[in-house]
Structure 1
Amino acid sequence: MVRRPFTGILRTAPMVPVLVIAVIAFALLADGFTSPTNLYNILRDSSVLMVAATGTTLVFLIGGLDLSVGSVVAGSAVGAAIAMSTTRSVLFGVVVGVVIGIVIGVLNGLLIGYAKLVPFVLTLGMLLVVRAVAYLAAAVAAGAGGTAAAVGDLPESATLFGRGFIAAVPNLFVLAIVVVAVTAVLLAKTRYGRYVRLVGQNETAARFNGVNVPFIKLVTYTIAGLLSGIAGVMLSMRLGSGNPASGDDLLLRAITAAIIGGTALAGGHGGVVRTVFGALVIIALSSGLSLMGFQFWDQSIVLGIVILLGTQLTRRWTRGSRAAVRAI
């Protein structure tokens, strides 16, 4: 009886204990880790990752894969920045950034769901195309003579929102929590959410049960694109510019956040709330290690170890869930 609450926490959000341990350890070992400025930065930096990784989680739940997430976020950030800097309209920039994400998501969904293209191959190609277009657009907009450059000069209201607070909580973090909450409700309370898990668990069985599998894939990749677009707009407001290189490491982090959060790569098992804690662990580790003097490559080694451990935790959790279902 004593162990059940802790076991329940591990199955619901396996990264919660890891996050607590990491915060305590860095509070003792890394000077400045618990300073208000650093904690605010952790929340702000994790916000973009949380939203992007939520889309990655949805794709994993249907047994899919999206390697274009980082490039789409960067492309949306560049598009939003160009729109805002040229028109001085924050709303127009937000619309442009989100639409870019949706369009790419629809293309992914149509080609994977209906044209039956392999997700790995298609999204890898989309990654390269979107990245190239983002670099080209940024270079032209910034007048950099064909070289990569960030698109700046955003309206002051955009940067104020990206760096502002609501009741001592960063605006971007509040927005990220709202986005995750809406997605969690969509998964838990709608027919679409049930179909997502059915498709991920057994696509053939889902089809025999009347589920329109291609349509579910289309909707899922579209939502993932929408979330990447939102993340891109958030990133441009956070940085005060649209940088085509800003999404280079986001793909790995988004996948890691979903995996260590407890979402199975095979599909059908997991959830977006778990991903939130996975994202917080990644950003907390990165911040703490940086304050302790670790270099980028050292952080990459730690991140790789975290992926391996997170994968093992996910496999154990999935076995436990299936065993529990068989026991009922």
Structure 2
Amino acid sequence: MNCQIILFVDSSMIGGIETHIVELHKLLSKNNVSCSVLFYKNHGNNDFYTLLDKQSIRYDFLQGTPSSLIKQLRRYDDNTVIHTHGYKAGILGRLACKLTHKHCISTYHAGDAGTGKMWLYNKLDLWLSCLSTNFAVSEQISKTIKNATLLENFIDIKEPPTVNFFSSPLRIGFVGRLSYEKAPDIFYTLAESMQNSNNVMFHLFGDGPMRNTIPQLENLHYHGLTNREDIWHQIDVLLICSREEGLPMTLLESMAHHKIVISSPVGAIPSIIKNNTNGLLMKTGDAQECQNCINALLIQSPDQKSAMAQAAYVMLKERFSGKNQFLLLQNAYTAKSRLRL
């Protein structure tokens, strides 16, 4: 492709969007597409900047003002495509692209409507979707957006490591933002209810507004924000107890690392996990059901656990390696029927 892709984002922590951006850069680079990241503002998100440096991903910062964004877009030539991620970058990016005659692509990652100001921002993000070519990471999200194409998340897949399911205790992990929609409170309740079990241990990775609600429990270890590659060797099972989701990158990452997934039936997850085949899919995702799933895993043999993880890995390679997703991106980036003023 004879174009330059600018991944525009306003990022203050490492989450699903940030992980997606890293994987998207890998996919584009693998296909010889020029790509870099543009931050609306430097929020001191040093863990993410360090990760970008480690991956040799070029990035730059604006001053956190609409005028600095417009000025920067005017510096780009006509072969530059702006690809926004997140509601703030989406809103500002589309308006600025309209003013500067730039081609704008937007990926919608979140399925939660939010409350208060967040609700208003999400509504504005949806209203302005007519100004861009749109992708959504799940069917559920795509139905709320004008002319959105499903673009499932993807991941650079390597051969899985050898995982020892003979070890005890079974290590259960929560990986994500500590916010209501991700339901860390369900994870806390689960850990508290299983304090007397010597067969399980709980590990919590992430940060967010609910950090101060973490209980002090002997079987619950809080690791905070952690390098993604340093997470997976510390857990055997990823527990997704979210109330709302799109298609979480943590789900794909865990499968790529040969981990077993237990998940609530939210977003695109039911289209991925086949219960008792490549993971455990709950009906509601409350603490009691989480505990029932863990107890069911505990009585399975190591070979049964390994077979479940292997089935997930095989499915991942077939569906989420990025091959099909790149074809959709290529078509959008090079489309001649671009938005006109």
TM-score (norm 1): 0.28
More helix per residue: 1 or 2? 1
Larger RCO (CA within 8 A; separation ≥ 6): 1
